[in-house]
Amino acid sequence: MNDDQLLRYSRHILLPEIGVEGQEAILAARVLVVGAGGLGSPAAMYLAAAGVGTLVLCDGDTVDLTNLQRQILHSAEGVGRLKVESGRDTLLRLNPFARVETVAARLEGDALDAQVAAADVVLDCSDNFATRHAINRACVRHRKPLVSGAAIRFDGQVSVFDLRQGESPCYHCLFPEGQEVEEIRCAVMGVFAPLTGIIGATQAAEALKLLVGCGTTLDGRLLLLDGLGMEWRSVTLGRDPGCAVCAGRGDA
């Protein structure tokens, strides 16, 4: 780290759980953020501010006026622009030391596989089950830690699936693909603006802890937030030995 970086990240370095070594691990990291909307906005901003060396921002959508109520990565001047381009500009203004790579498309197939394989941590900030399951399969395949978040109306949830660990559950263990699960969209049901900030910031916190190797992550737990009552609830998750995606992953 140069003198400017030592000063910029001094409040992390002062934390004994992070220190110089932890901050250097953050600076050397590559983090994949899938989705540059309500969750991806605060998550990417905190990761960039914290000094993550390379952020890969993936989203195929453009900025819409209705996004601005909660998607703080974007501004009125960005309406009509690609979200990844608008987001990249915001992140570089926040931290010129950051390297931001963009993928202006829905990440799937070989492209998804390659990005997950190259990442140290993956953040699922998407808004549909098909993408979430595709990300989970790639993370299981490459044994990459996955930080998953969701927010709708006043309800949020976040969990970590540390797929480097043999006994950790995967997203499919919690929400089996093909199960009858109602897909609710913000465009239909609405979403409380600060809720996405709370969940996205929590995703960023979990990602940084994974990169540094400090604290206790949400691996094996699902954290649920009732935003109306402002109450958190933690649910223990177990790995499904019959899971169609991660069964047989083992400990090796």
CA 170/CA 213 separation, integer angstroms: 20
State the CB neighbour count (10 A cutoff) for residue 22: 21
Distances (CA, A) of 156 to 55, 118, 127, 250: 24, 29, 12, 31
User: Residue 40: CA atoms inside 13 Å, Cβ hemisphere, count?
Assistant: 28
CA 50/CA 109 separation, integer angstroms: 30
Mark whether 186 is an active-site residue.
yes
The per-residue DSSP string of 158-219 comes to: EEEEETTSTT---HHHHS-TTS------HHHH-B-HHHHHHHHHHHHHHHHHHHHT-S--SB
CA 35/CA 186 separation, integer angstroms: 14
Cross-strand bridge partners of residue 103: 58
Pairing of strands 155-162, 145-152: antiparallel
Of 186, 214, 243, 246, the active-site residue reads 186
CA 206/CA 85 separation, integer angstroms: 25
Strands (E) in the chain, as ranges, are: 30-34, 54-58, 99-103, 121-124, 145-152, 155-162, 221-226, 231-236
Query: What are the residue numbers of the active site?
Result: 186
